Amino acid sequence: MANDSEAPRFPLLEEMLRIKRMPLKAGFTNGDLARLFGVSGRAICARVQSGQLTSRNLPGRAKFLPSDVEEFLRNSKRNPRRKDGEEPKQNSKEAPPILFLNGPASSVFGRLLTFRRETSDSG
């Protein structure tokens, strides 16, 4: 992890690693990211297949650089609600977003969850 006197190179990733008590490494595996986000390896693969997360052909088992994970975290913001109060429609081919719980819910569930937004076609 970064020294206290210097700014972290990967602030979002380093904060998540600190919370999960995991080390910052030069490369991460599917299993590392699954543990970090509290999801299955399949959920990580779905993010790679959808293009949301960059996977690399690195020697050994590592496939993800810290910069790739940091970029994924930066781009993981939810879309804001429209002024009329409706959620924007999502492309059904995209992988479901990852939701980070804060506050009392985080102590109950204690991890990141995946969810699929239900869309209803009420006409």
pLDDT of residue 101: 53
The band of 62, judged by pLDDT with boundaries at 50, 70 and 90, is: confident
pLDDT at residue 120 above 80?
A: no
Q: How far is it, in rounded angstroms, from Cα 91 to Cα 44?
A: 18
Q: Are 114 and 98 in contact (CB under 8 A)?
A: yes
Cα 34 → chain centroid? 9
pLDDT of residue 119 exceeding 90: no
Model confidence pLDDT, tens digit, residues 70-118:
999 999 877 666 666 666 565 555 665 555 555 544 444 444 444 434 4
In degrees, rounded to 5, the angle at the alpha carbon of residue 63 between the alpha carbons of residues 58 and 65 is 95
Contacts of 101 (CB under 8 A, 6+ apart): 109, 112, 113
Residue range 59-67: mean pLDDT, rounded: 90
Contact, 28 vs 69, CB < 8 A? yes
The predicted pLDDT at position 74 comes to 92
Tens of pLDDT along 6-20?
Answer: 778 999 999 999 999
Selected residue with higher pLDDT from 1 and 53: 53
What residues does each domain of the chain span? 11-76+94-114
Asked whether the predicted pLDDT for residue 121 surpasses 60, the reply is no
Nearest-angstrom CA–CA distance, 52 and 58: 19
